[in-house]
Amino acid sequence: MKHTHGNTPKPKPPTSRDGIETWLDVLTSMLSLPSSQRTQVRDELEDHLRSRVDDLLVLGKSEAEAIRTAISELGETAQLARHISSASRTPKSFRRFAMNATFFVLAGSVLTASVSMMIPTHTNTTLPGATEAIVVETAEVTEPIRHRFNHEREPVVDVLQSIATAYGLSFRFSDGVRKSPFGKTILDTQLNTFKGEYTLKEAIDAFQARMYMTYGETVLAMTENELILMTLEEHKRMQIEIQAYQIPSWAESDDDQRNYGFSIEQLISTKHDLEYTTIQPVNGSLVVAAPPEVHAEIISMAAQLEAIGKSMQAQKTQQRIEQHAQMTRRIDRLRAEYEAAKSVYFAEREKANEFSNRIDELRSRRLFVRSNDELSKEQQEALQTQINNLGEQSKQQEITTDEAKARFERLQSILIDAESELILSDINDALPIEGMNDSKDEMRTVSIMGTANMRSGIYQLPEAGKLTLARFLMAADVQDPNGKVLLQRGGVSEPIGTVGDISSGTIDSIVLLPDDQVVITAAD
């Protein structure tokens, strides 16, 4: 059991809060207890809730469902707060309550609106098969102390002092009441009647009801060891709490964060009077000074905005995945067409070379036999006719080869543009990769540097084994065909050749690997 009585509780960080902490914030803000006792109640309930969550996790529930169920078992938040406040008016009863916080656990309780604000869900939180309350065996809980009062036509000051004394408290008027126009009137006022048996909370409510008709601008409030009759404004200011909330990651710039804070303020102002509320974005957090009900509204709204933001981000990521898949499929189709066109072009070029070689061979033979008079005139004419026919066929083959070359080069250009688009897309809007964080060290990248007429920098590989050196040079817009290409891989530098030889296919292109570095230097 945690004991924090008399110690200042350590503030919790504004980020990474779960539903238990948020619910406890709202509950403790409703407690009419000194801050030290609020802290002890909070610690006891947190211990119980987290232990209960562990039990539910063992039973197979998800973490979010386990948290919702554990909180819902405690019942309605406001009623629980009243019960705790009433049961904790004396050290004895409070200590006994602190040891038996789990007395309030009821399986199958309906999750109330105050809990729903912090854990938005449409899931039924009733435990399966639970039809009866489960009573947790604990020590007996002491009922709140009750006192009987029998005041008739007595000064207000005397009645208030009697209430405070009965419960071991002192009483005073606040400075605001003393300085107010009705302050002296209250001091001289007699209360017609104040009779009945009350707990401290009931006594405060009963007195407040009698005073409201005449002095509606006053509030009887309790601090750690005293009752104070204060003005409504003083009570509002006393309730102000300062908390920090994390601004969503999509609000990156200072303007976005200011607009986020302004939007929250405008939305809340439609439901709450923000006279005692200040909302200010500070370094990625939204700092709010406000009464508890405003904080509860911000918690609810922030949770809903976070859920919407996550949904939108998921949709965006899914669209990017689909777009990436479409681009990859298109590149695969282009690559298949390109490889087919390349094969056709090389085959047609080989045929053209064969025609050219055959014609050269026949021409050489004609010259040889003509100088040695080995063939008759008719044979020489037949040889010339054969050469002419081959020449015509060679011209047709050159046309076919040129057409195949044009298709090959066109597909090569389209494929390079498509791959460049995919590379730049991955750089500007990289897809999340499972098991990979956002640091640059974990990204699969290649880099290129060199002359001014190129796009130097770091490029993310679209897929392992899919980017060749030739296409990378085209994507980086390397324009100097005479530039020398140096590949640095695994700490070893290797000269590859010129940009022109690599781009034209004269030198077999190399498949780039993660962390490869390409350096372009000017020709000698």
Give me the percent of the chain exceeding a pLDDT of 70: 76
Whether 210 maps to a domain, the answer reads yes
Of 91-100, 330-339, 400-409, minimum mean pLDDT range: 91-100
Tell me if 182 is assigned to some domain: yes
**Residues 6 or more apart whose Cβ sits within 8 Å of residue 394:** 352, 355, 356, 359
Tell me which of 1-15, 255-269, 356-370 is least confident.
Answer: 1-15
**379 occurs within a structural domain:** yes
- Looking at 102, 127, 143, the residue that finishes a domain is 143
For the beta carbon of residue 383, count every other beta carbon within 10 angstroms.
Answer: 17
- Among 45-54, 135-144, 383-392, 395-404, the minimum mean pLDDT is found in 135-144
Q: What is the share, in percent, of the chain residues with pLDDT greater than 90?
A: 5
Read off the pLDDT of residues 57-82 as tens digits, 9 standing for 90 and up. 877 788 888 888 888 777 766 667 66
Residue 4 has pLDDT above 50, yes or no: no
Instruction: Summarize pLDDT for 306-350 with one digit per residue, the tens.
Output: 788 778 878 888 888 888 888 888 888 888 998 999 999 999 999
Cα–Cα distance list, 11 to 5, 88, 273, 371 (Å): 15, 24, 27, 109
433 lies in some domain: no
Quote the number of domains for the chain.
Answer: 5
> Is 300 among the domain residues?
no
Same domain membership, residue 19 and residue 139: yes
Neighbours of 386 (CB within 10 A): 14
Tell me: do 214 and 319 sit in the same domain: no
Q: What's the pLDDT score for residue 340? A: 92
Q: Do 462 and 406 lie in a common domain?
A: no
Whether residues 315 and 196 fall in one domain: no
Q: DSSP secondary-structure letter at 271?
A: T
- Over range 192-213, report the average pLDDT: 82
* Per-residue pLDDT tens digits for 114-147: 333 333 333 333 333 333 333 333 344 456 788 8
Is 305 inside any structural domain? no
Are residues 138 and 12 part of one domain? yes
Angle at which helix 19-30 crosses helix 292-372, to 10 degrees, equals 160
Domain check: are 5 and 136 in the same one?
yes
Confidence of residue 149 (pLDDT cuts 50, 70, 90): very high
The whole-angstrom separation of Cα 483 and Cα 505 is 15
Is 129 found in the same domain as 5? yes
pLDDT at 426: 59
Please choose, from the candidates 188, 40, 29, 48, the residue with its C-alpha nearest in 3D space to the C-alpha of residue 118.
29
Residue 36 and residue 60 in one domain: yes
- Tell me the two tokens of residue 86: 């009433």
CATH number for the domain that contains residue 356: 1.10.287
Please report, for residues 67, 70, 95, 139, 359, the alpha-carbon distance to residue 101 in angstroms, rounded to integers and kept in the order given.
17, 13, 10, 10, 105
Q: Where are the alpha helices (DSSP H) in 218-291?
A: 232-239, 254-269
Going by C-beta distance under 8 Å and a sequence separation of 6 or more, which residues neighbour residue 406? none
* pTM of the shown model: 0.38
Single residue among 83, 108, 143 that ends a domain in this structure: 143
Query: 59 and 165 share a domain?
Result: no
One-letter amino acid at 165 equals: T
Is pLDDT at 16 greater than 70 in this prediction? no
CATH number at residue 453: 3.10.560.10
Rg (CA), the chain: 42
Q: Is the pLDDT of residue 384 over 50?
A: yes
| Section 92-120 average pLDDT | 37
As a whole number of angstroms, the distance between CA 70 and CA 108 comes to: 10
Q: How far is CA 120 from the centre of its chain?
A: 17
Res 515: pLDDT: 84
57/118 same-domain check: yes
Domain boundary residue, one of 117, 143, 169: 143
Determine, yes or no, domain membership for 296. Answer: no
In a domain, 434, yes or no: no
Domain span holding position 258: 240-290
The reply to whether 6 and 130 lie within a common domain is: yes
Instruction: Give yes or no: residues 501 and 463 share one domain.
Output: yes
